[in-house]
Amino acid sequence: MLKETIKNFVSRLFSTPRSGPERLPRDKHGIERRNVSRHAIKVCEVLQHEGFAAYIVGGAVRDLIVGLEPKDFDVATNATPNQVRALFRRARIIGKRFQLVHVVFGQEIIETSTFRAPASVEQDTDEHGRILRDNLFGTHEEDAARRDFTLNALYYDPVTEEVIDYHRGVQDLKKRIVRMIGDPETRYREDPVRMLRALRFAAKLNATIDPATREPILRMAPLIENVPSSRLFDEILKLLTCGHAMDCVRQLQAVGLDQGLLPLIEIIFKQEGGEQFVELALARTDARVRAGKTISPSFLFAALLWKLVNQRWQEICASGEHPAQALMQAADSVVEEQTRKLAIQRRFQADMREIWFMQARFERANPKTIWRMLEQPRFRAAVDFLQLRAEAREVDSVQAQWWMDLANADDATRAELIEAYQTESRGKPPAARRRRSTRRRRPASAPEA
């Protein structure tokens, strides 16, 4: 550990320009102040008025420079968490590993952190070198050195409209290069999640990973097993919702990180139509991200795991189990296998199951059950999922569209659609009705699995 710390220190010493940071004016970085959150500007202005340094930092600066709309805005300052909290009416200190302040403005939260010092031998780490606690405060220069990639070590002052750049991150950003600050191997040991972040930034920015930054990932991929599963879930969700989801999955496979995050993905891709289904689902997700629409993690993971669930459902049905019960068993087994590695939150698991279970109900719907299905919270998500299945040619697209029309209709139109559905079902040949059920009161199916 001491040897790695010394190696890390020397690497940082020589990677940090002795002449100090570049201070880039607006015509050099291109950030338009009107595109910056007014609440983030407010936090910086208040802190600077009180004599503190304060800058918008990290991903927001990176995205603004390349013309993307940031999802959120973070602030870095030399004020301590307690000093920050005292200046704002709605502010709270959070975090154990990293102590932060959330400054709340209505629906927007400005995450404000104190400048931190680089890793040291005094810090609490596990046996693999992963930092467990990191609340050592430092200088502005030290804070820049402890950030992961050069393109994230950028600070924007909304008062002077300058970008402060300690590690030539603007240059790397414009060249589309993802480059680690310091020794990559040591930095990955400090926090293995940085391997995932490197892949995500490369996909999101259409960038290449610097060879020295990429080389250790393949052999250090097993370290991802040491990261808490809840944090891994957050990171994989960021990967899948960055607007380039399939590229991220391919990169995970290329460096062997998929086994620690999506252990079933290889099996799913081997299923007939499995890879196509995942590509369709992720393409839809990417389209929603680019359109600025919300993403449902439940729907996303339901789509990723569906082919395996569907295969097991058919296998259990073939053994004579009732279809609804068979689907429950299939869903439970697949979710249990996946969550051994990736802690999909229970609320998302519940929604995933509801989306899947509704697929079986679509097959046996009658007017009475259709009205009950409309009351289910995940009905619309289940219909969207049925549309995805239709696009993958698992179900009849005409019938899937009928359910979508029903979901979009008002109550009066729904009543007409259901009445027409019932009339059409009664007009079908007896053999067609018996294929779904031997009971007269249950009409033929809508979509066919």
How far apart are the C-alpha atoms of 309 and 356, rounded to whole Å?
A: 9
How far apart are the C-alpha atoms of 308 and 271, rounded to whole Å?
A: 8
Q: Of 63, 134, 143, 148, which residue is the catalytic one?
A: 148
- Mark 294-323 as b/e (b = at least 16 C-beta within 10 Å): ebbbbbbbbbbbbbbbbbbbeebbeeebeb
How far apart are the C-alpha atoms of 30 and 63, rounded to whole Å?
A: 11
Q: Of 72, 124, 126, 405, which residue is the catalytic one?
A: 72
How far apart are the C-alpha atoms of 66 and 30, rounded to whole Å?
A: 9
Q: Strand 208-209 vs strand 177-178: parallel, antiparallel, or unpaired?
A: parallel
Q: Strand 154-157 vs strand 108-114: parallel, antiparallel, or unpaired?
A: unpaired
CB 196 within 8 A of CB 225: no
Q: Of 74, 210, 247, 351, which residue is the catalytic one?
A: 74
Over the Cα atoms of the chain, what is R_g?
A: 26
For 176: left if phi > 0, alpha if psi spans -120 to 50, otherwise beta; the answer is left
SS3 content of the chain, % helix, strand, coil (to 5): 60, 10, 30
* Residue indicated by tokens 């007939």: 272
Annotated catalytic, 72?
yes
Give the catalytic positions in this structure: 72, 74, 148
